Chain A
């Protein structure tokens, strides 16, 4: 999953980047309103972490622009936004949430809590209530970043897990290679041209051929009604 961190404090930005990468997020960082808006116009993000006091303006401006954007103008206009700010007054929280933010944390925050809130927002945006995903007889836990089959853990690399999670969350939609890349890789990740194919190949070997299907010329998808799916 890919997150855009809009934060002008270098210490926080780098700390978040390191922490969230360890949590399996693809993290892009920008330090101002202009950079954030340019990023949101260019690429889809699963989540935006937004600081309000930015060097070149108020982060609320980004939020307002995002929520007021005409349909089709942005790749992901409904991206959940989590405000992280030092403004701890109730009025500020209310204003932030009323502007269209999905959640609000006050600095300093617990990194674990932040990650849990981020997962919850992504889950809610995907229309799921459960913390884990059931795909056939696979149980995917985004928080623990584990996959189990019939109660037994499967060994997946971080990228493989990312690809599987992206496809499971998009199910039954088809994701193109570019869409999977956009979810997995941040701007500063070096990307091989066939990296996704390699990860899918490894996943099929570990999960079996039936879980991830190819739609030639379009992309990959996880079919519905896999054996073991809940009715």
Chain B
């Protein structure tokens, strides 16, 4: 089994990765900026010292010290950023007038400005700035600073800028992790709810989950649960109806068989035997219909639909029931104005029509008029009955005499028809009864 990926870890990794990238950029830029600024700082410093010395030469300082005094001790450092500067002074001809500091004496050159000189043995880089005194060029002053010292300062400044970023990174990462966990709490709640999903509950998710991002998921889960519930309810109802349809004749058979044990030969015994036979046939009929129902699903997958005339099929079914209707005192007829072409499974459509006719004959009193009506233009077929209205009183009084047509329970019979209708893309429903009839059940097919 592959390890499950964690969205939290995924999100945390990406966020911290992004944070690290930004932070590294920040530190690098800070470092570079620190170095650059340190360079600028020292350059400005050099320029300042040079200007200062020149000012001293021009007599703007109070006293003039001797040259040896200029090369004063370098240990007078009183600040971290105080640097050890070297100063070299030449006259107009390039003779060294004075010098101070640790820097080796650079060669004289008349040019001015910033430059990096490699002095000493072995040569080390020195950053230098030189300048003549005014337009007369009487003295040239050069101030030097060791590049190593300058780099040390730059690194120190850069480190000072970057260091807070380095030690803040884990703190920010921790805070960010906590924020992500907190922010993802609705997702965790949903995940917990989905994990503990009880599909048998009508509202399977225990919490509402109002977040917009979850709406599709929550709606889908609730819709699926509702569909599952509806299916479950239908299945339960079907099972109840099947149980009733099958258990009832079996119970009757059991009781009559037991009663027959002690019943002496005679009319009562014959009557019990006849009932036993009827109930056994009824149980057989229920089983046959159940098998047909099961076959309906298989047929849908296994057999191709074909074009057939529903009028012919209805004629065949009505013909099959002619004797039974006559025996049960029903008036059965067919009203079919012309060919009615549909694409479907003749076996299943015949089963549906049989169920509708059986229901109409089996659940109405003697003398009831039952008619199978087809409308090719409207693309429907319906079975209507008048529920015994208009039956002669004498006929009604005879109700109960003679065999009744054994039909499935109305509910189960209709479920068979519903399933067949669904297979054919048709709808099955109770329709408004036309004049002279009390109830109608209609199968309506989609347009050809």
Measured CB to CB, the residues of A under 8 A from B are 9-12, 14-16, 18-19, 22, 53, 84, 86-89, 106-112
Contact = CB atoms under 8 A, between A and B. Distances in A.
Nearest to B262: A22
Interface of B: 236, 240, 243-244, 246-256, 258-259, 262-263, 268, 271-272, 275, 278-279, 282
Interface centre among A11, A22, A84, A87 (most CB of B within 10 A): A11
A12 B252 contact: yes
A106 B255 contact: no
Given A11-B278, A87-B243, A111-B258, A18 B268 contact: yes
A183 to B, nearest CB: 22
Contact of A16 (B240, B255, B271): B255
A12 B250 CA distance: 9
B240 A87 contact: yes
Given A18-B263, A53-B244, A111 B279 contact: no
A27 to B, nearest CB: 11
A14 B240 contact: no
A18 B243 CA distance: 24
Interface centre among B244, B251, B271 (most CB of A within 10 A): B251
Given A9-B248, A86-B243, A88-B243, A111 B262 contact: no
**Main secondary structure on B side of the interface with A:** helix
Given A11-B248, A88-B243, 9 more contacts: A10-B275, A12-B252, A12-B255, A15-B251, A86-B246, A107-B247, A107-B251, A108-B254, A109-B251
Nearest to B258: A111
A106 B262 CA distance: 24
Nearest to B255: A15
Contact of B256 (A15, A22, A88, A106): A15
A53 B186 CA distance: 49
A110 B254 contact: yes
Nearest to A21: B259
Contacts of A108: 247, 250-251, 253-254
Contact of A12 (B240, B246, B251): B251
A16 B254 CA distance: 10
Nearest to B240: A87
A22 B258 CA distance: 10
A10 B248 CA distance: 10
Contacts of B256: 11, 14-15, 18
Nearest to B242: A86
Contacts of B259: 15, 18-19, 22, 111
Contacts of A10: 275
A54 to B, nearest CB: 12
B200 to A, nearest CB: 12
B254 A86 contact: no
Contacts of A109: 251, 254
A80 B409 CA distance: 30
A15 B243 contact: no
Nearest to B404: A10
B244 A86 contact: yes
Nearest to B244: A86
Contacts of B243: 86-88
B334 to A, nearest CB: 30
Nearest to B236: A89
